[in-house]
Chains A and B, each alone.
Chain A
Amino acid sequence: MKMEKLKKLTTGSNKSTTKLIATIAVIVILYAVMTILDATGSLTSLMKGLLVPVCAYSLVAVGLNLCVGYLGELSLGHAGFMCVGAFISAFFSKAFRGTIPDVPRFIIALVIGTFFAGLFGFLIAIPVLRLRGDYLAIVTLAFGEIIKNVINVLYVGIDGKGVHFSLKDMMALGMEPDGTVIVNGAQGITGTPRQSTFTIAVLLLIVAVIVTHNFVNSRTGRAVKAIRDNQIAAETVGLPITKYKLIAFTLSAAIAGVGGVLYAHNISSLTATTNTFGYNMSIMILVYVVLGGIGNFSGSIIAATLLILLPEMLRGLANYRMLIYSIVLIALMLFNWAPSILKWREEHGLKAIIKKKKEVQ
């Protein structure tokens, strides 16, 4: 009896390890395909420009998947955490450009960006996690909008005397003539060193997948899943609900922050608009998560890659591409989730046909 159980447990963990290896394999294959395409020169410059953003958004999607799939809470504000990571790391990189060599500066920027995104996640989670369901979703949306909005009116400059802040305009900073304005309100941060390469992005993505995988299968991760499945039961068993929820939410926000750091160090001008860091982006990332499969990290990455590249691939269709994109999105959702279609697929799908053939034989 005991042996059987032990066997079951070990095979269980083997199964999840296989899943992890499969996810990493997916990433490596995508990386290889893209690198080969790039080397043979069959990538358009637009596609090339999308390589790092794809990884950045995949990272945020992995973070959000942790929150939606394992914590079981819908967050519509993950673009906000991405925004925090992006702006704080870009601020650091620009401020210390020339004083710290490139490589250590990027590493420190990465750590700082991740840390602050996690910190914001933690601070926001304390009040937010008291709410349930759709109310939690709307409050995270609100926080995301507030972060975006405040960054749009934030002016920060550095001069000999130190750091100056203002929420009004550049003049209100009261800077010495030798100072530089780093965050310039709605114009955001320009001139961040462009250090995120495709290789770094892919490496970070792999690290994030390993971290989330280990987290989900750890003692804490199991507790989080227990809370998701039945909070009252978990509470009765004696699990500290708030603690585990906080840990999962903070980790999820921190991973989104890594995505932000990557994103910020890939573009020369970083601004916080509705489409880059607003609710539109949060919703887009949720689309990746749901379409890729809730709780399935490799699915998130594949969905993010396909959906970001799809409009590029449809470029030949000019104005119709976003229309087709939206129709594909609706059709995919119906195909994957509608009970009547699922039943039809069971009866007439590939698996059913193969089964029938076997029966005939």
Chain B
Amino acid sequence: MAMHQISLADDGYGDGVHRNIIFEREFLVMGFLTYLINGLSLGSVYALIALGYTMVYGIAKMLNFAHGDVIMIGAYLVFICTSNAGMPAIVSIVIAIGCCTALGMIIEKIAYAPLRKATNLAVLITAIGVSYFLQNVALLVFGSNPVSFTSIIPWKGLTFAGGQLKITGNAIIAISVCLVIMIVLMWFVKNTKPGQAMRAVSEDRDAAVLMGINVNATISLTFAIGSGLAAIAGALLCSSYPSLTPYTGSMPGIKAFTAAVFGGIGSIPGALLGGLLLGIIEILAKAYISSELADAIVFAVLIIVLLVKPSGILGKQIKEKV
């Protein structure tokens, strides 16, 4: 800031004007930083959802379109536990994670496992069926009116620069939860037996079977982890955007899927990178260009990235064999 002050003082403006310019600049910078942090916070939620997509895609080679609706179910569970049953936030989150994990495994067993050897498209359509099913169950149980979700994070957050830069508690928690989960997950996949089994199955399923890996259990585990993360993502998403309906999950679901592709589908750091970038682009586009066109801009950036790097930013380029 000091540099600007000197250069501005030299250009011959009156004192008041130059103070105004400095103020405006500071204001712009602070505004930009606020948007950036909001973007990171939204991006963290996308990254958590994208993890579910990317892991399932990497291991089961299917697009799980019902993933977005598991988020919605998770958010409703948290809502019931905190608002209706009056449980503390941490307990309700644990309950939601447990239920969503079970839900993910049940869905996998009933709807996807029988189709493991069928074409990809058949599984895709079944996933769409499951997505409708979850939405309509929620519609019957909770009704179509939006419920207002009270944030599970009571912390107001931090304020910097004399109140100009506010970082909400939601944003801090979202970003840190996302980072911690990402690190744990990367360690899990790299260093533990089940994690190594996951990598083996995603590399070559038939070879993994020959090595004595239980493929069915590995795929179940993947769905369990993905769905558990979806519950956390649901709670975080609704803490920042408090209106919850049975359709809440579908748009973030699609965007997180985009984020997974953006970062390179099948790659865990790719999901993090894709999610964060997507969140930042969306919030900045909303702030500086047009709030109606934000989604279009997000998708346009995705298209450009895929045209330059056809398998996403961190994706592996797979050579086609004859």
Contacts and interface: CB of A to CB of B under 8 A. Distances in A.
Interface of A: 68, 74, 127, 130-132, 134-135, 137-139, 141-143, 145-146, 149-150, 152-153, 167, 232, 274, 279-280, 283, 286-287, 290-291, 294, 319-320, 322-323, 325-327, 329-330, 333-334, 336-341
Given A139-B302, A329-B128, A337-B118, 10 more contacts: A134-B261, A138-B306, A142-B302, A279-B254, A320-B140, A323-B137, A326-B136, A329-B132, A330-B129, A333-B126
A146 B300 contact: yes
The binding surface of chain A is classed by DSSP as helix
A185 to B, nearest CB: 8
A295 B300 CA distance: 31
B136 A323 contact: yes
Given A142-B299, A330-B126, A294 B121 contact: yes
A134 B265 contact: yes
Interface string B279-322: 00000000000101101100110110011001110000000101
11 contacts: A127-B303, A131-B310, A134-B265, A142-B302, A146-B300, A153-B290, A232-B320, A286-B125, A290-B124, A333-B129, A337-B115
Contacts of A142: 258, 299-300, 302-303
Contact of A322 (B139, B254, B258): B139
A327 B135 CA distance: 12
Interface in B134-149: 135-137, 139-140
Contacts of A134: 57, 63, 261, 265
A152 B296 CA distance: 11
Given A127-B307, A334-B111, A149 B296 contact: yes
Contacts of B311: 135
Contacts of B132: 322, 325-326, 329
Contacts of A323: 133, 136-137, 140
Nearest to B114: A338
Contact of A290 (B122, B130, B135, B254): B122
* 7 A-B pairs with the lowest CB-CB distances in the bound complex, closest first: A326-B132, A142-B299, A329-B129, A149-B296, A337-B122, A330-B129, A326-B133
A336 B122 contact: yes
B275 to A, nearest CB: 15
B79 interface: no
Given A142-B299, A323-B133, A323-B137, A135 B122 contact: no
Nearest to B262: A138
B125 A287 contact: yes
A347 to B, nearest CB: 17
